[in-house]
A and B are shown apart, each in its own frame.
Chain A
């Protein structure tokens, strides 16, 4: 126990040292490289930082980020709910499985740009609908497939045990099905969020008149490369925060029964 704690501290500090070193290496190379290029091609970290501050002070950052977040969450959570329900229905019904399973594969293998073009045709530019549609259609198969696999891997022996001990269907659903699905659900959440976040930006860049993606396209058109970099940093940071501050701790907390010590 004690040894393992010491080991984990050692491993932790090792990984902190490694990632800090990597950070400084990247930053230094950036500074050196930026010295040799026109800021239109590669702005320096200082220029990007001041662009960041400007975005914040003008309120542009908050405005567009909020719009993007709202769209991401609407599209993402509808995909989560629909994907989950679809997986439940398809795993129970042979007919639905035969009809809908290929449809989902088609949705999954269609390149996002096709969906985006279609969405622009159907819903037009400057609407919330276009990015939300794209997020939904890109995240849905990810959620569905993970949950569907999860349902297939539920331990039949545990269900048998519950049945011989006279457990109700409701109890079996809530106390065996749902907990079995949690690992699959969490990994679906995490993968789908990365998809959703990228799709939002993509859709806003090409098919919307607001949001971070739109701000990116404006900065690009105006040759504001420093602002472009600033947005990129915001996007990556946000993704990291969701992954490491929300999703991973959630995973550790919900799956504490998997710990071996």
Chain B
């Protein structure tokens, strides 16, 4: 299996806080690789490292040459003074000729029911629509590699399911390589070929899962997948170690205080 991205002993700190501590992992070509972890586990830092927005202090990141990468950020990063169409062109014109760009753009907007909104400004769209435009912009450059940072975090359930389906369709049709950052175990299990569970300190990789089943055949009711989800959740619970709401004597005293007894 060819590696599209390879992280080798990467270290990154902010001040005294080491966010990523000597981590290695890879994103295989043609696969969906998922980094899964609770907030504060260094996911977004890894995303920024992969995107080249920040540099590691130590270690190296190798990319397969000639891959065209597209990016989807947590919240839509659209230029407010450009229309939907102009925002997509902003990315497209760095890669594609005008005719091809227009063909792809028109189809993508139409498929997403945004054909009538191509001349609208972002301020005129709902949050979900903006995120859809963000995703369309990424696909519209016709990428080989797609890097997604919690792409469905800010959209409602219905749109989330829809966008997941779209993502999978493109993944298959275009033979995409995907790096998906998420905090949602179900999402990871439904989409990923490989899952890295990130821990609390320095993006510690707690566990890796590989799922060898076509994405379109996966159902959460499937026992095997359900077990993986449960296992991931229990790893999360270990990481967070949140005793504050347990009925263990300690909290009863606090509640007594608050109640004024």
A: residues with CB less than 8 A from B are 157-158, 160-167, 175-176, 179, 182, 256-261
The 9 tightest CB contacts between A and B, nearest first, are: A161-B77, A257-B121, A165-B91, A179-B81, A257-B81, A166-B94, A164-B71, A164-B51, A157-B77
A258 to B123 Cα, complex, angstroms: 7
From 85 to 110 in chain B, residues with beta carbon under 8 angstroms from any chain A beta carbon are 90-91, 94-95
Cβ contacts under 8 Å, B79 to chain A: 158, 175-176, 179
Q: Which residue of B lies closest to A182 (CB)?
A: B81
Do A161 and B73 touch (CB < 8 A)?
A: yes
* A169 CB to nearest B CB, Å: 13
Cβ contacts under 8 Å, B135 to chain A: none
Do A175 and B90 touch (CB < 8 A)?
A: yes
Cβ contacts under 8 Å, A161 to chain B: 71, 73, 77
When A158-B77, A257-B80, A257-B81 are in contact, do A164 and B53 touch as well, CB less than 8 Å? yes
A157, A162, A164, A261 — most chain B CB neighbours (10 Å) = A164
From 141 to 156 in chain B, residues with beta carbon under 8 angstroms from any chain A beta carbon are 141
Do A165 and B124 touch (CB < 8 A)?
A: no
* A163 CB to nearest B CB, Å: 7
Is B52 among interface residues, defined by CB-CB distance under 8 A?
yes
When A165-B90, A165-B91, A167-B94 are in contact, do A160 and B123 touch as well, CB less than 8 Å? no
Please list 7 pairs of residues, one from A and one from B, whose beta carbons are closer than 8 Å in the complex, sorted by A's number.
A161-B73, A163-B53, A164-B52, A164-B71, A165-B71, A175-B82, A182-B81
What is the number of contacts between chain A and chain B, taking CB atoms within 8 Å?
Answer: 50
Is B9 among interface residues, defined by CB-CB distance under 8 A?
no
Cβ contacts under 8 Å, B51 to chain A: 160, 164
A163 to B90 Cα, complex, angstroms: 11
Is B22 among interface residues, defined by CB-CB distance under 8 A?
no
A20 to B53 Cα, complex, angstroms: 57
Is B24 among interface residues, defined by CB-CB distance under 8 A?
no
Do B69 and A164 touch (CB < 8 A)?
A: yes
Q: Which residue of A lies closest to B79 (CB)?
A: A158
Cβ contacts under 8 Å, B81 to chain A: 179, 182, 257
A166, A182, A261 — most chain B CB neighbours (10 Å) = A166
Other CB < 8 Å A-B pairs besides A163-B53, A258-B80, A259-B121, 13 of them? A158-B79, A161-B71, A161-B77, A162-B90, A164-B53, A164-B69, A165-B94, A166-B94, A167-B94, A179-B79, A257-B80, A258-B123, A260-B123
Residues 111-127 of chain B, each 1 if its beta carbon lies under 8 Å from chain A, else 0:
00000000001111000
Do A259 and B123 touch (CB < 8 A)?
A: yes
A166 to B52 Cα, complex, angstroms: 11
A174 to B151 Cα, complex, angstroms: 28
Contact of B77 among A160, A166, A182, A259 (CB under 8 A): A160
Do B53 and A166 touch (CB < 8 A)?
A: no
A27 to B51 Cα, complex, angstroms: 67
* B146 CB to nearest A CB, Å: 12
* B25 CB to nearest A CB, Å: 20
Contact of B95 among A166, A182, A256, A257 (CB under 8 A): A166
A160 to B47 Cα, complex, angstroms: 12
* B90 CB to nearest A CB, Å: 7
